[in-house]
Structure 1
Amino acid sequence: MPRGRSATSVHSDSSEMDFDGIAETEIGKLQRQFRIMEGDRQAYSIQSQEILRKQRSEIPLHAQHCTSHTQSWELTLQEELEQERRSQTEKGEVSASSTQQSLVRHTRKATCTLENKLDRALVRFNQQLTRNRHLREELETLRVERLRFQQLYHKLDKVRLQEVRREAGDVISTSTAAYDARLEAQSKMMMMKEKAVKDLAQYSSEVKELERVITHERHLREFMTTKSKERSNRGNTQELIRRQELKAQQRADSGEESMETLEDVFQRIQKVTEEEDLEKLVNRFLQVEDKNFALFNYVNEQNTQAETLRDEISQIKEEMERFRVEGVRQVEEHHMALKQVEEQQREAESHALEYEAQANIIGKVLDQIKTGVNSIFIKINCDHAMVDDWLDSSSRIRDSSIMSYLSLVEQRTSQLLTLQAFLNSKDLEKDYDPKMVAQCLLGQNPELQKETAVIREDNDSEESLFTDEDDRPLTQEELRQRIMNIVRNTYWKKQKCFI
């Protein structure tokens, strides 16, 4: 058990260190990305501000340049006009018509030249104003884009900061939980170690106490053996004294015992016990007997307790071994359960992938079927209005309405086969089979298997044609009338669709 706990703690420490390293790596990566984005934002902001500053500095220069050009042209024109006026006033009236005409032509030419120059200046001025207006619009657009970029950047920065904070919070909470679990596991491990140390110390103290008790009992047993030997020797002496006393008593009773005999016996007892007082000798004998009996009872109790302690020690050892085996078995069962759960998870993931692939394949096949049904539906010119009326839906085919579309395709196919059979019956060059023609006209082609579909009943003229008369054979006139009704209904439905 201690070995299993140490392996588990080492594994938990290594996994904790790996998790902390991964979390620190992710946080460092996010911080680097944030710093790179912050540097890009600052660079773009500085670049846009520099462009705006240059354009703002160019606007007054262009405006001043245009104003100076305009003023210079106006001043030049005014000076030329003033010179012309002065020249005319100085010359006065000229009598010669040729000179006057040349002066008029010169004046007109100068006027045209000045007007052309003024027009060109105005054109350049208007072009400069237009350019300034475009520059203002571009500046306004850049300003709006800058504001939008700043808003988007702040929003993105806020979102990413929130994500980083959330991820950091998750990592911190996970790390805190793992650290708490680690502390709890370490505290439990320390408690178990302390308990194991205490149990070992208690076990050692109990073993020492039991060894001491056993040693004491062995010494006591040896002492009691020695005492029993001494007692047996004393018992022989006392038996001899008792026999002599009995003999003396018998003699006293019989009148044969004498005082000398009693004195002789007492002297022998004194010689053996080295005690002169008879009363003390009797009391001493009784005390020794009581002490020996008490020691005998004590030895029996100690032997019983020693046997009980030996049984308890063996039971404790058996329980320790059983707990160790149980712990090993629980660890093995835990590992087996983890392996089974991982295997089940892998199987579930593989099944999920297989089911997803099957669902994708089935979806593709169903889309192909819907595309094919729609193509057939369009090619055989089925009635979309009937679909809208029956299915209460648009012309798009759904998964729930594909059988209804197939039923309509089957009905339309039956109609086309009926028309084809009628046309074949009118062709005299082909073999005429009345039974086959009748089956085709009635829509009872054995090669086609109808698929039942739930469609709302409609009181159209086509359904009124298929009545209980299907059970009896029809005449040629009835068949012709029936085909004409089908063609007429189809024609009117097409006309309604066109209208």
Structure 2
Amino acid sequence: MTDQSELDQLATAELQRLQRQHRGLQLDLRGLLEEKAKRLKKQNHMINVLQVEHQKLKEEIKTLEGGTHARKNTYREKHLGTLQGQQADLQRVLQNERTNLWELEGHIRKMEKEIDALRRNEVPDNCYKDTICKVQKSVVKLENRLDVVNKKCSDVLTENSKMRDAINHMLQDRANFNDMWQSMVTQFNEGKKFIMDLIDQSTLAFDQREELCNKLSVLKDRNENDKVMHIQEMREMQRRLEHDAKLQKFFDIKGQKRLNPELEQRELDKKQNQKENYERQLLEYKEIIEKIKLLYGEEDAERLVAQFKRQEDENFALFNYVNELSHEVEVLNDSTQELQDEIERQKSEQTEKELKLKTEALDYLNAEKERIEQLAEETREKKRTLSIRLEQLLKGIEDIFRQLACDDAPILNVLSTKTFLTVHNVKLFIGVIERRVNLIISAINIEDNSNKILARKDRVPKFNIRESAKTKN
């Protein structure tokens, strides 16, 4: 009843507003017509006056055509032209006013037609009340139907969301497995690279050690040679010093005077004996020289002496050279033995280090291999379980697809060939299932279900039209 009274009030208020507007338009039209009539009267009076003046002017022109008033005639002709122009302007203004009046009359007729249409469309109170009751009943019925459909649709959407979450979870597990597998392969490659780096470093260290050993041997040889040369020079200097000391001693002894006659006699005897010995030796030497001359076939003694000295010098030089070579050989043998001992020691140390590094690297790699194999086995087991779950879900989706008798035309349009349900095209099947479910829900006989639901009074929802309208606004 309150709604009906409000609608009645709105209708009466609208009618009163239109009536007031109509009366205002009628008053405006009446005033406008009166004003236009007054203007027309004034304009007609002005036209009559102008026509009378025009007639008078014509008569005056006829009377003044004699020529005495030529200037006045020209002035009057000009004045007459201006008056004619004013008359033409007044005619145009009059025509515009008539056009405006005609348009205003058209608007008035249009408003009268609208008022008549509103009066014809007025609805009686009884019909208006019946219409409102029918509308309220239909609104309640449709709201109940909407509630039922929303509940069913919510259930279906909930199941679909659960299935989507499960599929997304399995896809995420698969991606995690791929990431873990890739990381393990990367770690294995890094371990291999680390081993190769260790081998390269050990090879480089061994080459550097060999090079340093060679340089050390060269330096030792050079040092030994310098040492031998220094020893030889020292020996030569020592020999010269001893020779100089002997000469000095000899000259000192020879420079002393002998005062003892017995000693002088003894010395004379000694000298005589020495002279005899020298002569005898000289004879022997001459005989030897003669034999040498006969042996060598050389008569010149000086040449023989020079050849003999040269031969003796060569023999002495060879003797010295052989001594030096023997000494150098001994030094080289000693240094070679030391170097061999050092090399053996370095080789043993290097072998121990390499063996230790290889053992540590092998232990580390074995531990990493066991850990990676264990992790790979766990990931394979997870993958196996996830694959089984994924196959079960795909099989369930395929069974739902077949039970609902879904149309596979959209899938064929996308894939171009008939294919089975896989992880890659599962979204297409789910989309087709959703569309099929929506079609089934829309095709259900909602009216029968709603009648069954409305049979119970406690199941009928209470709706407030005003509150729903406010919330929508």
Structure with higher Rg: it is 2
Fold-level similarity (TM above 0.5): no
Q: Which structure has the higher relative contact order (CA within 8 Å, separation 6+)?
A: 2
Alignment TM-score, normalising by the size of structure 1: 0.28
